[in-house]
């Protein structure tokens, strides 16, 4: 029995528009958690090692590496990344093609 999940999700989003933004935020949190855990493990570090290097508590580190829950602050992400010999890179993209670039150009900012 084949399931058409994309079609089901589309119908669900139409019926419950409040679910879409929540699902997107949770997907972002899950992807971030996986990236954090992968960075730490690539460096051969435990959560306790990150705690000692960053000053963040081990329970907070565990929550950051959890696929659910709230997103950490930028400062917290930076402390975690630095403890794992990594760095945080932010990217801004326009929602509508050209809007962000146009706004930046007006401010004299060059986007790459």
pLDDT at 99: 64
Is a pLDDT exceeding 90 seen at residue 13? no
DSSP output for 1-58? ----HHHHHHHHHHH-TTHHHHHHHHHHHHHHHHHHHHHHHHTT--HHHHHHHH---H
Calculate mean pLDDT across residues 86-108.
73
CATH of domain 5-106: 1.10.260.40
Pick from 35-39, 57-61, 85-89, 104-108: least confident:
104-108
């Amino acid at each position: 029995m084949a399931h058409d999940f994309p079609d089901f999700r589309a119908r669900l989003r139409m019926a419950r528009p409040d679910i879409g933004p929540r699902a997107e935020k949770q997907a972002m949190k899950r992807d971030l958690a996986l990236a954090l855990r992968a960075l730490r493990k690539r460096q051969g570090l435990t959560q306790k090692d990150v705690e000692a290097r960053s000053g963040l508590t081990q329970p907070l580190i565990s929550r950051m590496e959890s696929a659910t829950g709230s997103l950490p602050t930028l400062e917290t992400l930076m402390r975690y990344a630095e403890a794992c010999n990594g760095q945080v890179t932010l990217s801004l993209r326009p929602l509508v093609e050209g809007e962000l670039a146009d706004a930046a150009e007006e401010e004299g900012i060059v986007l790459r």
